[in-house]
Amino acid sequence: MNSAPVNAAPDPPFSQHSLPQSILLHLLPGALTTLVFVLLKPLLDPGGFPPLLAFLLAVLLVDLPIQLAIMMAAGRKRTGRLRLKSVVLYRDRVSWKTFVPVFVGAFAAVYLLMMLVGPLSRILAESVFSWLPDWMFLEEQAQYLAYGKGMLLGVFVLQLFVTGVALPWVEELYFRGYLLPRLSRHGGWAALLGGLLFALYHVWQWYSFPTLFLLGTALSAVVWWKRDIRLSIGLHVFANALTRLVFLMAALAM
């Protein structure tokens, strides 16, 4: 496939990234975040903090700043100003009559598909990535039983705002609004390639590769189809926030 979907508006003129450049820009934030996460964890252990806090700090100190800095630097190079608007594309605004059914349909389809591929992620975690320390599996709720309710409430509230809202929002601006258009020369395959690189970006969570690949491809495909970045932002934030709310409610129920 060498052309954009017939119902998608043509992309405006902008430079394309080479494949090595695109791979670097996709993987660099995740690799550095994982490194800082691993380095911070033993520093926080004496204070009795859960590993999740080390990860959230790594996101705040590394992941979010790097993604924003790359986009702002590109904006400054393009217009001479530190603006995201000049480099974040796919900002067509579909009508609400289109937005709502696409959002609901995409969320339902992705949720069902993720339920189907979930077992594959568990198999990867228990086999290929079984060598990882238990504390790196941040979704495993059993590890949080060792911490007090007050500690967990504070960390899970922080998680709700950091990885439930801020991170998915910035990720969509970066991966779907900035990087995906620079792969548009690949036509419809850009969404698949973007989904693959998005999954690989999650270095700290490669054991969930099937789920992340599906999520990244679906978000890329929706944006590629409708050229409206609001759709992927809404879907990603809603899905992440819902998951983080489950953790928070579990802590409240302790």
Quick check: 7 pLDDT over 50?
A: no
pLDDT digits (tens, 9 = 90+) for 174-216: 999 999 999 999 988 999 999 999 999 999 999 999 999 999 9
Structural domain containing residue 177: 19-133+149-252
Indicate whether 3 belongs to any domain.
no
Global pTM value: 0.92
Indicate whether 239 belongs to any domain.
yes
The phi, psi pair for 91, rounded to 5°, reads -115, 25
Q: What is the DSSP letter of 88?
A: -
What span, in angstroms and rounded, lies between the C-alpha atoms of 66 and 44? 23
CA-closest candidate to residue 176, choices 126, 124, 228: 228
* DSSP H stretches of helix in the chain: 19-44, 51-58, 64-79, 96-126, 149-161, 167-171, 189-201, 209-226, 229-252
What is the total count of domains within the chain?
1
The CA distances from residue 51 to 32, 134, 161, in Å, are: 17, 10, 17
Indicate whether 8 belongs to any domain.
no
Indicate whether 210 belongs to any domain.
yes
Indicate whether 100 belongs to any domain.
yes
The CA distances from residue 104 to 168, 172, 212, in Å, are: 18, 18, 20
Indicate whether 14 belongs to any domain.
no
pLDDT digits (tens, 9 = 90+) for 215-224: 999 999 999 9
Indicate whether 180 belongs to any domain.
yes
Quick check: 134 pLDDT over 50?
A: yes
